[in-house]
Structure 1
Amino acid sequence: MARSHGPSIKDDETYEALRDDGYSKGTAARIANAKANPDMHPSKKGGKSPPYESWTKDDLYDRAAELGIEGRSSMNKDDLIKALRDSR
């Protein structure tokens, strides 16, 4: 049985499974909470954003800032893409 992670996690079993798969605590919490919300459908195909390779460096930097990626100011475009993909 899944242990309780408190009121901030709405689906403890999904949260634990995602953490076991290597997802960060924040990402696992967002996905678990979305799956617990009947108005959201996180198991369906995601958004329609273009691949990171077609983003500008400034756009990648802004996204890295949103996610709180450390060291982003010294990263080149390839480093930003890798950091964003690794932040899952």
Structure 2
Amino acid sequence: MPRTSQDQRSSIKDEETYQALRDDGASKEKAARIANAKANSRMKPSKKGGKSEPYEEWTRDDLYDRAQVIGIEGRSKMDKGELIDALRSH
């Protein structure tokens, strides 16, 4: 049976951090990952992820390839800005 959004929300360990990250534009997945890591005393996550360049510096083809890996629907009709928005909101 698929999980409902309530089931998914109940897995968030630090709701305040999650909401702050979502308000700053982080995806649901990223916000949940960071919030849960911060709630774990053995982990020390930072807000910033890896050392990849910001999406604005990627080519449209690179953005398209990333969207394809993630499985974003309608990517072939998106321009660079739309691909960036789709990747960030995924």
Q: Which residue of 2 aligns with 1:53?
A: 56
Query: CA separation of 1:84/1:24 partners in 2, compared to 1, >3 Å: closer, same or farther?
Result: closer
Match of 2:46 in 1: 42
1:61 CA displacement: 1.4
Give the RMSD, CA atoms, in angstroms: 2.9
TM norm structure 1: 0.58
Deviation at 1:60, TM superposition (A): 0.6
Deviation (angstroms), 1:18: 3.6
Greater RCO, CA 8 A, separation 6+: 2
In the alignment, what sits opposite 1:84?
87
Unaligned runs of 5+ in 1: none
Structure 1 counterpart SS, 2:82: helix
Give the whole-Å Cα distance in 1 for the aligned partners of 2:19 and 2:85. 25
Q: Indicate if the aligned counterparts of 2:15 and 2:35 stay in contact, CA closer than 8 A.
A: yes
Kindly report which structure 2 residues correspond to 1:1-88, keeping only aligned pairs within 5 A, or say none: 5-6=9-10, 8-19=11-22, 21=23, 23-37=26-40, 38-43=42-47, 45-85=48-88, 87=89
Residue 67 of structure 1, CA deviation: 4.2
How far did 1:59 drift? 1.9
